Protein backbone atom coordinates (compact mmCIF):
# COMPACT_ATOMS: atom_id res chain seq x y z
CA UNK A 1 0.00 0.00 0.00
CA UNK A 2 1.16 3.53 -0.76
CA UNK A 3 2.23 5.40 2.39
CA UNK A 4 0.94 8.85 1.45
CA UNK A 5 -2.87 9.09 1.45
CA UNK A 6 -2.57 11.94 -1.10
CA UNK A 7 -1.65 9.37 -3.75
CA UNK A 8 -4.67 7.20 -3.13
CA UNK A 9 -7.54 7.76 -5.54
CA UNK A 10 -11.05 6.50 -6.09
CA UNK A 11 -11.96 3.37 -4.20
CA UNK A 12 -8.52 3.11 -2.59
CA UNK A 13 -9.00 6.56 -1.02
CA UNK A 14 -12.43 5.60 0.33
CA UNK A 15 -10.93 2.45 1.86
CA UNK A 16 -8.16 4.54 3.45
CA UNK A 17 -10.66 7.06 4.82
CA UNK A 18 -12.88 4.27 6.11
CA UNK A 19 -9.96 2.76 8.01
CA UNK A 20 -8.16 5.93 9.17
CA UNK A 21 -10.45 8.98 9.15
CA UNK A 22 -14.15 8.20 9.31
CA UNK A 23 -14.01 7.11 12.96
CA UNK A 24 -12.96 10.64 13.95
CA UNK A 25 -15.83 12.25 12.09
CA UNK A 26 -18.69 9.90 12.92
CA UNK A 27 -18.90 8.83 9.28
CA UNK A 28 -18.86 5.52 7.54
CA UNK A 29 -18.26 4.50 3.94
CA UNK A 30 -21.95 4.59 2.99
CA UNK A 31 -22.52 8.02 4.55
CA UNK A 32 -19.43 9.38 2.80
CA UNK A 33 -20.59 8.00 -0.55
CA UNK A 34 -24.01 9.60 0.00
CA UNK A 35 -22.46 12.98 0.81
CA UNK A 36 -20.08 12.94 -2.14
CA UNK A 37 -22.93 11.94 -4.48
CA UNK A 38 -25.17 14.70 -3.08
CA UNK A 39 -22.36 17.19 -3.75
CA UNK A 40 -22.06 15.86 -7.33
CA UNK A 41 -18.43 14.88 -6.64
CA UNK A 42 -17.32 18.51 -6.33
CA UNK A 43 -16.06 20.84 -3.59
CA UNK A 44 -18.98 22.41 -1.70
CA UNK A 45 -17.41 25.89 -2.00
CA UNK A 46 -15.68 26.29 -5.37
CA UNK A 47 -17.47 23.54 -7.27
CA UNK A 48 -14.26 22.19 -8.75
CA UNK A 49 -13.65 18.51 -9.10
CA UNK A 50 -10.74 16.21 -9.68
CA UNK A 51 -10.76 13.57 -12.40
CA UNK A 52 -10.47 11.00 -9.62
CA UNK A 53 -13.65 12.40 -7.98
CA UNK A 54 -12.64 12.17 -4.33
CA UNK A 55 -8.86 12.44 -4.26
CA UNK A 56 -8.83 15.98 -2.96
CA UNK A 57 -12.08 16.27 -1.00
CA UNK A 58 -11.64 16.61 2.74
CA UNK A 59 -14.06 16.42 5.63
CA UNK A 60 -14.82 19.96 6.81
CA UNK A 61 -16.28 20.67 10.23
CA UNK A 62 -16.73 23.56 12.65
CA UNK A 63 -13.56 23.55 14.75
CA UNK A 64 -15.24 25.58 17.50
CA UNK A 65 -17.49 22.59 18.21
CA UNK A 66 -15.00 19.73 18.33
CA UNK A 67 -11.22 19.35 18.62
CA UNK A 68 -9.03 19.84 15.55
CA UNK A 69 -9.03 16.29 14.17
CA UNK A 70 -12.48 15.20 15.28
CA UNK A 71 -16.06 16.18 14.59
CA UNK A 72 -19.54 15.14 15.56
CA UNK A 73 -22.59 14.89 13.36
CA UNK A 74 -23.59 18.39 14.52
CA UNK A 75 -20.45 20.20 13.32
CA UNK A 76 -19.82 18.31 10.06
CA UNK A 77 -20.33 20.79 7.20
CA UNK A 78 -19.35 19.33 3.83
CA UNK A 79 -16.52 17.98 1.70
CA UNK A 80 -14.02 20.55 0.45
CA UNK A 81 -11.04 20.61 -1.87
CA UNK A 82 -7.58 21.21 -0.46
CA UNK A 83 -7.53 24.92 -1.33
CA UNK A 84 -10.95 25.78 0.13
CA UNK A 85 -10.38 23.66 3.23
CA UNK A 86 -6.97 25.27 3.79
CA UNK A 87 -8.33 28.80 3.22
CA UNK A 88 -11.03 28.33 5.86
CA UNK A 89 -8.56 26.78 8.25
CA UNK A 90 -5.95 29.51 7.80
CA UNK A 91 -8.64 32.14 8.41
CA UNK A 92 -9.87 30.19 11.47
CA UNK A 93 -13.40 30.34 10.04
CA UNK A 94 -13.38 34.06 10.95
CA UNK A 95 -16.16 35.62 8.86
CA UNK A 96 -14.89 39.15 9.52
CA UNK A 97 -11.39 38.24 8.36
CA UNK A 98 -12.74 36.50 5.27
CA UNK A 99 -14.85 39.60 4.48
CA UNK A 100 -11.78 41.81 4.87
CA UNK A 101 -9.99 39.57 2.39
CA UNK A 102 -12.87 39.93 -0.07
CA UNK A 103 -12.86 43.71 0.42
CA UNK A 104 -9.08 43.78 -0.12
CA UNK A 105 -9.34 41.85 -3.40
CA UNK A 106 -12.22 44.03 -4.63
CA UNK A 107 -10.40 47.25 -3.71
CA UNK A 108 -7.29 46.27 -5.62
CA UNK A 109 -9.33 44.95 -8.54
CA UNK A 110 -11.07 48.35 -8.81
CA UNK A 111 -7.71 50.13 -8.50
CA UNK A 112 -6.31 47.99 -11.29
CA UNK A 113 -9.31 48.64 -13.56
CA UNK A 114 -9.09 52.38 -12.86
CA UNK A 115 -5.35 52.35 -13.56
CA UNK A 116 -5.86 50.57 -16.89
CA UNK A 117 -8.58 53.04 -17.95
CA UNK A 118 -6.30 56.00 -17.23
CA UNK A 119 -3.44 54.45 -19.19
CA UNK A 120 -5.68 53.69 -22.17
CA UNK A 121 -6.62 57.35 -22.61
Residue 1: what pLDDT?
A: 35
Q: Which helix (H) or strand (E) holds 59?
A: strand 58-61
86: helix, coil or strand? helix
Q: Residue 3 has what pLDDT?
A: 43
Per residue in 12-31, pLDDT tens? 767 766 666 777 777 888 88
Asked if the model's pLDDT at residue 47 lies above 80, the reply is yes
Please, are residues 62 and 73 in contact by the beta-carbon 8 Å criterion? no
Q: Is the per-residue pLDDT at 45 higher than 90?
A: yes
The pTM score is 0.71
User: Residues 30-69, buried b or exposed e (16+ Cβ, 10 A)?
Assistant: eebeebbeebeebbbbeeebeeebbbbbbbbbebeebeee
Amino acid sequence: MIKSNKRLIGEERIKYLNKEKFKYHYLNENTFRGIIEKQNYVCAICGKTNKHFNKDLYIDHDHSCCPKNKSCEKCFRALLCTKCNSALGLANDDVKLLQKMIDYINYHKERFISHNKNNAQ
